[in-house]
Structure 1
Amino acid sequence: MKNILRNSASFAALALLLSCNQTKKEESVPEPAAVEQTAPAAEPEAAPQVTETVSGKITAIQPGKDGYTATLETADKKVFFATISHSNLTKHEQYKTVVVGDTITVKGDLWQSGEESHITVRAIL
């Protein structure tokens, strides 16, 4: 029994020595590529808001989620798409529903989308 224990201990010690004697291969880690610093992109300048008053006859109405877009045709035949909603009006109680054929006057922020003139209505006069 002593011989079995001694042989087992010797075998374990020999296995331990052999396993510690092996060298590991070093893995090469590539260096990170150099990153060139650039100046931050400049914010595009916003076009100044132009506030206009527009009067015209309603030729079409497109319902939206909290209002509508009315197509207004002025006396000189210019067409404006007026977005009228509760959230855009400065005084929410000014909101009113209109029908095709009504004439209204609105005041708001004028902006262009291609050839179309739009006005975000802030007040119904």
Structure 2
Amino acid sequence: MTTTTPRPEAPTALVGHERLLDAVTGLFTRRGLPLPRARTAAEALCHGDLVGFPSHGLFNLERLYLPLLETGRCDPWAEPVTVRDLGACAVVDHRRALGLWAAAEAMDDAVARARRHGIGLVAVRGAT
């Protein structure tokens, strides 16, 4: 059985937030992610650690996200396609885009829809 809890014996280092964001962004861009998507993904992962949920943070960088890019299971340049648009609600196929970026895009879209319609819902499919 695998665990998502960081090992207590693992070495730790205190790194400033901006420096960490820059480093993680660089890891993503070196694997082909466009800079804005890389920054969004880095912000999402760093946020998990900042708010006390390391199981949703950088722990997943080497375990999950970098291998997705390195093996081609994630398309760093995939452009989402709206499959169904009902005004307040939409279904968007992200075509193997990185889920960290797709989730942020969907949230921004849902907020814009809520401003127009009073409610907004965006379902994402096909993201990692």
Shorter-chain TM range is: under 0.3
TM-score (norm: length of structure 1): 0.22
Structure with the higher fraction of residues in helix conformation: 2
- Give the number of the structure whose alpha-carbon radius of gyration is greater: 1
Q: How does the TM-score come out when normalised to structure 2?
A: 0.21
| Greater length-normalized contact order (CA 8 Å, ≥ 6 residues apart) | 1
Q: Which is richer in strand?
A: 1
